[in-house]
Amino acid sequence: MAHLLKDKEAYERLNYLYQAAHCVLSQNPENVELARFYCFTQRTVARRLVLKQDPSVKRTLCKKCSSLLIPGVTATTRQRRKNSKIRFTVMRCLSCGQSKTLLNNPDYCLWVDRPEAQLEQQKQPGDKPQINTTQQLLSRCVV
């Protein structure tokens, strides 16, 4: 795939909106509306052009009202646990009350962070790590 297709401008726009929302909140912590508008626009742009966003971005946005979640300013973060020793990190958006739960599994690694998902390491075809069915299919195609 070509490096950064036609949507490069769109990605730059996403970048700008995201950082602008942060700057707005840093200068005026009470102006949550403007930051929310920026993030809402960012989400709309990504939705219209079907652009993928990293979990590091999505975890800081509220899914309901799409306001920027900053712990202490617009959101509260707590550790909770269910009785069966399962622990969560819960982020609550202060404006709409929507809570975002993240499971505290020490062994869990996001697909995006895994080495298998990185494009640079996959120069040769058929070198995909051990996920059985598709690798076998590919190797059969090569042969």
Partner 1 sequence: MAACCGKPTKKELKKHIPTKTSFVSPLTPTWRPLPQQDMHFILKTLKDKLISVGLEKKEVKVFRPWKKKKDQKPPAAPSEPAVPQVQDSPQNGWTVVAARRQLAIGINEVTKALERNELKLVLVCKSVKPKHMTSHLIALSVMRGVPACQVPRLNQNLSEPLGLKSVLALGFRRCASTDEEVFTDTVDAIKPRVPSLDVAWLPGAAPTVTPEDPAHMEVEVEEEEEAGEKRGQKRKLESESKEITESSSSCSLQPLKVKKVVTNPARKAKKKVKT
| Contact indicator for 81, 64 with CB cutoff of 8 Å | no
Residue 3 DSSP class: S
Residue 60 found at the interface with partner 1 (CB under 8 A): yes
Classify residue 117 by its DSSP letter.
Answer: G
Number of residues that bind partner 1 (CB under 8 A): 58
Residue 126 binds partner 1, judged by CB under 8 A: yes
Q: What crossing angle do the helices spanning 32-48 and 8-27 adopt, rounded to 10°? A: 170
Q: Which of 63, 77, 86, 97 binds partner 1 (CB under 8 A)?
A: 77
| Distance from C-alpha of 17 to C-alpha of 137, rounded to nearest angstrom | 42
Chain mean position to CA 56:
4
> Is residue 111 near partner 1 by the rule CB under 8 A?
yes
Contact footprint for partner 1 (CB under 8 A):
1, 4-5, 8, 11-12, 14-16, 18-19, 22-23, 26-27, 46, 51-54, 56-57, 59-60, 70-73, 76-79, 89, 91, 102, 104-108, 111-112, 116-119, 122, 125-126, 128, 131, 133-135, 138, 141-143
